[in-house]
């Protein structure tokens, strides 16, 4: 797909670029998204597996589901879309990467200072006393590990439906949306708040809004540019054109 020259012109002059990513950027790393036809929520009930009530009513089922997802994520590798955002960090004078993803593929690709709005699936903590947990996670029979400090149940350090997002992360993300010159919404259905607010905050604050997604979303009518293809193809193309424009290649 042709990337508009006007977008390259704007990016060549941009001082501050902010990016919000969703599950779509990890799709080409073999990690299922949530709302695509073959996504996780087509097979599993999010309220049973990604909520406090779900964990309280059947902690072992939730624990096993996260172990299953962790196993897939640990085997996954960053794709060219993740790597292109590492280049973004080098090209733009100021850059903020905000993600809804919990897989830490951005960090494994080499992105630094990633704002994680929904926590991460790699770490665990105690459901009762919040103490970080570094003990064994693969217990016989899929048993839920217990906190050595208080005996409480151990849970993954992701943000579940109905839980507050980490306030510091959300404040930093909103600040980036308000101050950036260009805001990218990449690989997200833009349906889950408060993350889905960010592109609108950016637009209202005068940023150029760019969406990278092979499918249209609720955000699409509001964006200035749509790159309607996989982020694993669109983002490396954009980096190549931008480097040519800026004489970096």
Q: Name which of 29 and 147 has its Cβ closer to ligand APR.
A: 29
149 binds Zn ion (CB under 5 A): yes
Closest CB to ligand APR belongs to which residue? Answer: 24
Q: How far is the CB of 196 from ligand APR (least distance, A)?
A: 8
**Residue 226: strand pairing partners:** 211
Site of interaction with ligand APR (CB under 6 A)? 22-25, 27-28, 33-36, 39, 46, 100, 118, 187-189, 191-192, 212-215, 217, 230-232
Under the binding rule (CB under 5 A), the answer on residue 172 touching Zn ion is: no
Q: At a CB cut-off of 8 Å and minimum separation 6, what does 27 contact? A: 33, 36, 187, 230
Contact status: 236 vs Zn ion (CB under 5 A)? no
Query: Catalytic: 125?
Result: no
Interface with Zn ion, residue 153, by CB under 5 A: no
- Could you tell me if 211 and 219 are in contact, meaning their C-beta atoms sit under 8 angstroms apart? yes
DSSP labels, 159-222: PPBTSPPPHHHHHHHHHHHHH-SEEEEES--S-STTGGGHHHHHHHTT-EEEEE-SS--TTGGG
Bond into 194 cis (ω within 30)? yes
List the single partner that 231 binds among ligand APR, Zn ion, none, CB under 5 to 8 Å by kind.
ligand APR
Of 112, 81, 94, 107, nearest to 207 by C-alpha is 94
Considering the complex, state which of residue 79 and residue 96 has its C-beta at the smaller distance from ligand APR: 79
Q: Of the ranges 45-53, 76-84, 145-153, 199-207, which one interacts with Zn ion (CB under 5 A)?
A: 145-153
List, by residue number, the catalytic residues.
Answer: 118
């Amino acid at each position: 797909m042709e990337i508009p020259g006007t977008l390259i012109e704007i990016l060549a002059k941009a001082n501050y670029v902010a990016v919000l990513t969703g599950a779509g950027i990890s799709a080409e790393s073999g990690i299922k998204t949530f709302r695509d036809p073959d996504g996780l929520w087509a097979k599993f009930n999010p309220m049973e597996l990604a909520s406090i009530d779900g964990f309280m009513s059947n902690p072992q089922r939730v624990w096993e589901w996260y172990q299953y997802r962790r196993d897939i994520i640990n085997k996954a590798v960053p794709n060219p879309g993740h790597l292109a955002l590492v280049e973004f960090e080098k090209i733009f004078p100021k850059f903020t990467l905000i993600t809804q993803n919990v897989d830490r593929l951005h960090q494994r690709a080499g992105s630094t200072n990633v704002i994680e709005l929904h926590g991460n699936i790699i770490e665990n903590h105690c459901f009762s006393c919040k103490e970080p947990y570094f003990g064994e996670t693969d217990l016989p029979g899929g048993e839920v590990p217990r906190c050595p400090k208080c005996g409480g149940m151990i849970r993954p350090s992701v943000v579940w439906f109905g839980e507050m997002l980490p306030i510091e992360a959300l404040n930093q993300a909103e600040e980036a949306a308000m101050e950036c010159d260009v805001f990218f919404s990449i690989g997200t259905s833009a349906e889950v708040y408060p993350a889905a607010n960010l592109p609108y905050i950016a637009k209202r604050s005068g940023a150029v809004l760019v969406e990278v997604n092979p499918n249209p979303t609720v955000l699409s009518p509001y964006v200035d540019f749509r790159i309607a293809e996989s982020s694993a193809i669109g983002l490396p193309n954009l980096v190549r054109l931008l480097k040519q424009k800026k004489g970096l290649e």
